[in-house]
């Protein structure tokens, strides 16, 4: 079945299960504003044919089955196009929240709609909007809001992020994007780029008037100001993305250095959202803890050591229970996505002058090292200081050095001394700034576009530094930067990207 973007659609908008109230939502697509829409609503709500619901007013209605028996009584809210969520005529029916009640109302809507279409078809083919009603796809209401210019793409994505938000900070970030603040900031920058570009292109069109354009027009100064504003925007988006995506922290090190103890210590000190993966030999290989609203997914690699390091040997491990195998696969997956690697060593071995350098340690460690992303930040954790009498402290390179195995945090997973130093360091790696403005709850897609924008702006700056002979390239860089920015709000968006974005929404949203 091919799905049209203006078919009338219906879906249950509240979550599956029983509740005090359930909502069935309908968006009437190509019927909006036509007599058939009014007839449909009147009939569904058990009213006379000439009855019209007042827009934006709750009305008590009795939703009737085809034989005029009542399925349920509830409140109908009608929003006339274009003043609705989707921009089309929208009807929301608040009824009792039982799954069967809701399904019966959806079924009744579909049946009634198709009977109206066939009645109309026989009465007046020319005036008949052929589309009949169908079930909504996931995210289709919001997709229509996007297609009808009620929301831009970044705002539409923020709808899903708000629903999925798992911390207060994430809610505020999603709301900042949904309100359009993120899109507005992007538009302002894009406009500045367009202005600058227009200036450059006018010069290119009239080369005879070109007298040291870059100097005369303050193009470099303008570009510098755009880049400055861009950096601030990027930072807010990065902060927001952090709230959405969190950090994956992988614990590595030899057996018995205290990886599981550290995992537990971090989890138990926080009011943890525990995600234990059941296993026969280990209780937990992964925990999610929250620091300042940022989700840290902490992964212990000990399971890999127990069941063989390499992907293919996992299957061979005859004694590896299926659940363990799933746990190990997840651990590999986490390793490949690690943002931070904590290499644990025993304080006693440091005291004994043993080099904690990780590379080349053994087969498992090498296999893990090979899968770690190049940009993952690395830190050495010197554990068990309660045994050596060391004080909790930090030694070595600054936090900005992303490959800092010499950067050592001395702590004790057992007593908890030094855990605060580690937490603070993790937040620093995450780029967390306690007093910063609310982040925009950006997605990886947005960050990718922002990174691309940044590289075009860098190129623009480099070309500007080479003087007027590079003006054409300068203009092209500006054009590319502006195009990348516009991808975020969806000005240039391929259909398959839309499918991917809206397909991840829940039904009824």
Residue ranges in contact with ligand GDP by CB under 6 A = 253, 255-261, 302, 383-384, 386-387, 412-414
Q: What residue is closest to ligand GDP based on CB?
A: 258
Distances (CA, A) of 302 to 193, 305, 328, 349: 51, 5, 9, 19
Closest contact distance (angstroms) between CB of 414 and ligand GDP is 3
CB of 455 to ligand GDP, least distance (A): 41
Nearer to ligand GDP, 257 or 457 (CB): 257
Q: What is the DSSP string of 125-142?
A: TTT------EEPPTTHHH
Closest contact distance (angstroms) between CB of 387 and ligand GDP is 5
244 or 259, CB closer to ligand GDP? 259
To the nearest whole angstrom, how small is the minimum distance from the Cβ of residue 269 to ligand GDP? 14
Nearer residue to ligand GDP within complex by CB, 178 or 249? 249
Question: CA–CA separation, 486 vs 480, rounded Å?
Answer: 10
Nearest approach in angstroms of CB 402 to ligand GDP is 24
**How far is Cα 157 from Cα 141, in angstroms, rounded to an integer?**
13
CB nearer to ligand GDP: pick between 27 and 264: 264
Q: Indicate the length of the chain as a whole number.
A: 509
Nearest to 133 by CA among 101, 150, 108: 108
The answer to whether 139 and 509 have CB atoms below 8 angstroms apart is: yes
Could you give the CA distance from residue 310 to residue 134 in angstroms, rounded to a whole number? Answer: 49
Question: Does residue 345 contact residue 381 with C-beta atoms inside 8 Å?
Answer: yes
Secondary structure percentages of the chain, helix, strand, coil, to 5: 50, 15, 35
- Name the residue nearer to ligand GDP (CB basis): 257 or 404: 257
Query: In this complex, which beta carbon is closest to ligand GDP, that of residue 157 or of residue 346?
Result: 346
CB within 8 Å of 119: residues ≥ 6 apart: none
Kindly report the number of other CB atoms within 10 A of residue 220's CB atom.
15
Instruction: Report the residue number, 232 or 387, with the smaller CB distance to ligand GDP.
Output: 387
Cβ atoms < 10 Å from Cβ of 221: 10
Per DSSP, the three-state class of 291 is strand
Residue of 355, 395, 400, 411 lying closest to 377 (CA atoms): 400
Place of tokens 């989890």: 267
Task: Output the smallest distance, CB 223 to ligand GDP, in A.
Answer: 52
Least distance CB 370 / ligand GDP (angstroms): 20
Q: Considering the complex, what minimum distance in angstroms separates the CB of residue 247 from ligand GDP?
A: 20
> Could you tell me which of 143, 4, 87 has the C-alpha nearest to residue 498?
143
The residue (of 23 and 263) whose beta carbon lies closer to ligand GDP is 263
Q: 3-class SS at 410?
A: strand
Between residues 358 and 432, which has the closer beta carbon with respect to ligand GDP? 358
Residue position matching structure tokens 């127990």: 306
Judged by CB, which is closer to ligand GDP: 78, or 358? Answer: 358
| Nearest-approach distance from CB 406 to ligand GDP, in angstroms | 21
User: Minimum Å distance from CB 389 to ligand GDP?
Assistant: 12
Q: How far is CA 74 from CA 9, 43, 71, 244, 507, in A?
A: 20, 15, 10, 37, 21
Q: Which residue reads 């003043």 in tokens?
A: 83
Dist. CA 466–CA 473, nearest whole Å: 11
Q: Which residues pair with 428 in a beta bridge?
A: none
Side-chain half-sphere CA neighbours of 273 within 13 A: 11
In whole angstroms, the minimum distance from the beta carbon of 433 to ligand GDP comes to 30
Our CB check for ligand GDP shows the closer of 158 and 257 to be 257
Quote the CA–CA distance of 174 and 240 in Å, as a whole number: 8
């Amino acid at each position: 079945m091919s799905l049209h973007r203006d078919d009338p659609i219906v879906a249950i908008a509240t979550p599956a299960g029983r509740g005090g109230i359930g909502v069935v939502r309908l968006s009437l697509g190509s019927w909006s504003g036509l007599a058939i829409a009014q007839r449909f609503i009147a009939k569904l709500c058990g009213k006379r044919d000439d009855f019209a619901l007042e827009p934006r007013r709750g009305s008590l209605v009795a939703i009737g089955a085809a034989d005029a028996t009542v399925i349920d009584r509830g409140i109908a809210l009608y929003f006339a196009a274009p003043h609705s969520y989707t921009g089309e005529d929208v009807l929301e029916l608040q009824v009792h929240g039982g799954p069967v009640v809701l399904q019966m109302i959806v079924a009744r809507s579909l049946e009634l709609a198709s009977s109206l279409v066939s009645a109309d078809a026989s009465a007046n083919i020319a005036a008949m909007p052929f589309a009949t009603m169908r079930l909504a796809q996931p995210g289709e209401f919001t997709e229509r809001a996007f297609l009808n210019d009620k929301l831009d793409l970044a705002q539409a994505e923020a709808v899903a992020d708000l629903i999925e938000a798992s911390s207060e900070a994430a809610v505020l970030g999603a709301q900042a994007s949904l309100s359009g603040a993120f899109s507005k900031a992007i538009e302002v920058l894009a406009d500045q780029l367009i202005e600058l570009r227009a200036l450059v292109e006018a010069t290119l069109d009239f080369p005879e008037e070109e007298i040291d354009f870059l100097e005369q027009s303050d193009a470099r100064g303008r570009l510098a100001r755009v880049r400055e504003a861009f950096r601030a925007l990027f930072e807010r988006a990065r902060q927001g993305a952090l709230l959405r995506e969190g950090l994956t922290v992988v614990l590595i090190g030899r057996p018995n250095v205290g990886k599981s103890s550290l995992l537990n210590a971090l989890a138990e000190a926080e009011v943890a959202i525990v995600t234990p993966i059941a296993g026969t030999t280990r209780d937990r290989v992964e925990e999610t803890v929250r620091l300042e609203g940022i989700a840290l997914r902490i992964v212990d690699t000990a399971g890999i050591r127990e069941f063989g390091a390499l992907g293919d040997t996992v299957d061979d491990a005859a004694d590896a229970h299926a659940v363990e195998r799933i746990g190990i696969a997840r651990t590999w997956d986490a390793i490949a996505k690690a943002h931070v690697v904590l290499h644990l060593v025993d304080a006693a071995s440091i005291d004994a002058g043993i080099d904690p350098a990780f590379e080349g340690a053994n087969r498992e460690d090498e296999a893990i090292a090979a899968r770690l992303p190049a940009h993952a930040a690395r830190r050495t954790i010197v554990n068990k200081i309660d045994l050596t009498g060391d004080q909790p402290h930090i030694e070595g390179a600054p936090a900005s050095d992303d490959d800092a195995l010499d950067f050592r945090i001395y702590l004790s997973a057992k007593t908890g001394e030094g855990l605060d130093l580690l937490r603070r360091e993790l937040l620093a790696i995450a780029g967390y700034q306690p007093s910063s403005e609310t982040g925009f709850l950006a997605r990886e897609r947005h960050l990718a576009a922002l990174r691309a924008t940044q590289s075009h702006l860098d190129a623009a700056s480099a070309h500007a530094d080479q003087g007027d002979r590079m003006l054409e390239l300068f203009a092209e860089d500006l054009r590319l930067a502006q195009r990348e920015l516009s991808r975020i709000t969806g000005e240039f968006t391929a259909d398959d990207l839309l499918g991917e974005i809206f397909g991840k929404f829940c039904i009824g949203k």
